Amino acid sequence: MNPAPGAERLKAVLDTNVYISAFQYPKGRNAALWDAALAGGFRLLVSTAIIQEMAGVLRADFEWQEGRVQNAVRIVARVAGKGIVIPRTRVHVVAADPDDNRILECAVDGKADLIVTNDHHLLDLKAYAGIPIIAGVDFRRTLGLK
């Protein structure tokens, strides 16, 4: 899963919905993307805003206990490592779901190669600032996963 020595890994921002799906359904299709991140198949970029949104959804919508939420937060931060982005860019592109703008900000300031989401607000953009926005199924194909 790791790239050849000297090869640059693809830098990707995963939308919150990809994390939620992967963590809630560990045998689901989005879990394969998270497994690829764990294995170093691509360089994960994430911001504190994305992590906070993920934690909030796990608490509120899926009733995860705080210890489990904090464990997920620590794992995401550890896997991202130096890919934790502190965005300075502010965008207001997605009016229907302002949280989606945090994904774009992370991607721009992290110099992402692509954004991976299953959210139509972002997918409808197709790209932002020259960064392709693709669905999870397409990223799985890119990584050679099923």
Asked if the structure places residue 50 within a domain, the reply is yes
44 DSSP β-pair partners: 12
> Mean pLDDT across the stretch 132-139?
97
Is 2's pLDDT higher than 80?
Answer: no
| Predicted local confidence at residue 3, as pLDDT | 47
Is 98's pLDDT higher than 70?
Answer: yes
Asked if the structure places residue 102 within a domain, the reply is yes
pLDDT digits (tens, 9 = 90+) for 43-72: 999 999 999 999 999 999 999 999 999 999
User: In CATH, what number is assigned to the domain containing residue 69?
Assistant: 3.40.50.1010
Asked if the structure places residue 3 within a domain, the reply is no
| Predicted local confidence at residue 146, as pLDDT | 75
Q: How many structural domains are present in the chain?
A: 1
Is 6's pLDDT higher than 80?
Answer: no
Domain membership of residue 96 as a residue range: 11-142
> Mean pLDDT across the stretch 3-24?
83
pTM here is: 0.93
Asked if the structure places residue 2 within a domain, the reply is no
Asked if the structure places residue 54 within a domain, the reply is yes
